[in-house]
Amino acid sequence: MSGINGAHLKPPCSATDQESAILASLRQDAVHFAGLSTKDVERRRAEIFASLGTTELPANVMPVIKEELRTSLSPIVLAGIARAIRRSRCLETEVIELLQASAERISRHDEYAVFSVDDGSVSPLTATQELAVTIDTLSKERVSCCKKNGPESGGEYPSAHLPALVHAIIVENQSGTRYVVNDLLRGNRTLLAFFYTRCMNPTKCSLTVTRLATIARNLEQSDPPSDLLVLACTYDPDFDLGPRLEAYGRDRGFPFNEKSMMVRCVSGWDVLRDIFRLKVGYSATTVNDHAREVFLIGPELSVEPLSAESLASLSLLETSVSGSAVIDIDAVAAASCCCG
């Protein structure tokens, strides 16, 4: 399931070489994660995070760190992040709350965290202890050198357009109907999110689809009718056949209709992955790690990467696409925060 070298959404040229190297090393589809088990991926990502923070953390790395704090169930990954944040002396006010939520999330499956950068001079701490030390340090110092100037971006790439080769990609929805991607997307505004049914982390795929379903249900009731197409596309197209997609969606309140579909790629999956630069990696048999990824696609196939948290935020779903309207989903966060 490896990607190919083709047209894709490129990283912003404004990023420094250091930032680009760090971001590249943390991408779930990086070559050094390929073929590893999920546990081995977590260990390697944790080592990368733990090695950061000797100086100020690059600003472009903070969205990656915050996403891990929102979703990760891995004690070792969260311990590495705690070290990076603590040593860097750089965060947003929001990060303390995310650290606290992370500590609570892993409190029942804590473990000791030892990294290759350790010299053995101090006793190892558990992941929750690493998080607690960081929370205490930051709470006392009230460090806030990374100010939040606006909504988080959705990724490491700017807005772009899908290349002409999308006509070679074919997807199949939950009912077995097939579409050429170019024909499906062109002329519509499309909210596209990625997931897979075997995901074991309820804060990732299950929450993404639950929030997407809430948006789709609200759109059904909009007046005038919305022109937005809502798509959930699986990272695992060989396994997630139509019946699995439908069952997964139904369990999360997804309203299947001509404007709301769950799809799997039946032709050109590697091309699709490469075009969107999807942050997903694979072991020998299945996904070993992935990000939460959401895109807004315009009628002429313009692409705007969104933060996954945009699905729970009214303001972050505004778009520059001509003629767009804000989706009224004020209740999305409350409706979905407890859903898995």
User: What CATH number does the domain containing 290 carry?
Assistant: 3.40.30.10
Token pair 């948290």 is found at 309
- 136 and 188 share one domain: no
Range of the domain at 169: 160-336
- 135 and 260 share one domain: no
Domain-located, residue 98: yes
- 137 and 174 share one domain: no
Rg (CA), the chain: 20
Domain-located, residue 247: yes
Residues in the chain with pLDDT < 70?
Answer: 1-15, 53-55, 89-92, 142-159, 164-165, 314-340
Domain-located, residue 177: yes
- How many domains is the chain built from? 2
Cis peptide upstream of residue 224 (ω within 30 degrees of 0): yes
Domain-located, residue 155: no
- 251 and 218 share one domain: yes
- 115 and 196 share one domain: no
Condensed to tens digits (0 to 9), the pLDDT of residues 231-283 reads 999 999 999 999 999 999 999 999 999 999 999 999 999 989 998 999 999 99
- 21 and 75 share one domain: yes
Domain-located, residue 303: yes
- 330 and 189 share one domain: yes
Question: Minimal CA–CA distance to 51: which of 40, 61, 39, 66?
Answer: 61
Pairing verdict, β 228-234 and 189-195 = parallel
Domain-terminating residue out of 141, 171, 186:
141
| CA distances, 231 to each of 84, 192, 335 (Å) | 36, 5, 20
Please count the CA atoms within 13 angstroms of the CA of 164 that sit on its side-chain side.
Answer: 0
CB 72 within 8 A of CB 124: no
Question: Which residue type is seen at 153?
Answer: S
- 109 and 215 share one domain: no
- 174 and 101 share one domain: no
| CA distances, 119 to each of 108, 122, 215 (Å) | 28, 8, 50
Domain-located, residue 168: yes
- 185 and 256 share one domain: yes
Tell me if residue 282 falls in helix, strand or coil.
strand
Predicted pLDDT of residue 28:
97
- 66 and 197 share one domain: no
CB 130 within 8 A of CB 83: yes
Predicted pLDDT of residue 149:
45
Which pTM does this prediction carry?
Answer: 0.79
Domain-located, residue 7: no
Domain-terminating residue out of 88, 106, 141:
141
- 204 and 330 share one domain: yes
DSSP string, 313-339: -SGGG---STT------TTHHHHHTT-
Domain-terminating residue out of 79, 113, 141:
141
Predicted pLDDT of residue 89:
66
Domain-located, residue 12: no
